[in-house]
Amino acid sequence: MPRTIKEVRRELRAWGNYWRWQEMGQGYAKRSACDKLGEVMTNSDAHLFDDDFDAPEHIRAIDKEIQRLCEQCRRAVRVRYICQGVWTLAGFRERKTYEYWLRLAEMELV
């Protein structure tokens, strides 16, 4: 059964709140990026880095859906739901352009 736009926006708000909280330094990763830079990664070591974020299953599901969108749609979703609407910093020239890509992304997720 297809979701409604209200359900999609509610899920995106939860997704954005989760990632905004993570980016503010509240347990962003198990290991720092600087710690990882000194290590050489081989195929046998890949499993050490797969579980770097302990995102809940519903957040990972939304991440996968968002990854299917075009780049402009992903930027618009990130601006709206993580950056709280500061569209000028994301490279959109006009508010209408940002709103167009955001609405397109939301409709593709329905």
Residue 48 lies in a domain: no
- Asked if the structure places residue 75 within a domain, the reply is yes
44-89: pLDDT as tens digits: 444 444 555 578 999 999 999 999 999 999 999 999 999 888 888 8
In Å, what is the CA distance from 107 to each residue of 28, 37, 93?
A: 30, 39, 22
Specify the number of domains making up the chain. Answer: 1
What integer pLDDT is reported at residue 101 of this predicted model? 96
Domain that includes residue 78, residue range: 5-27+56-109
Within a domain: 35 = no
Residue 62 lies in a domain: yes
Residue 22 lies in a domain: yes
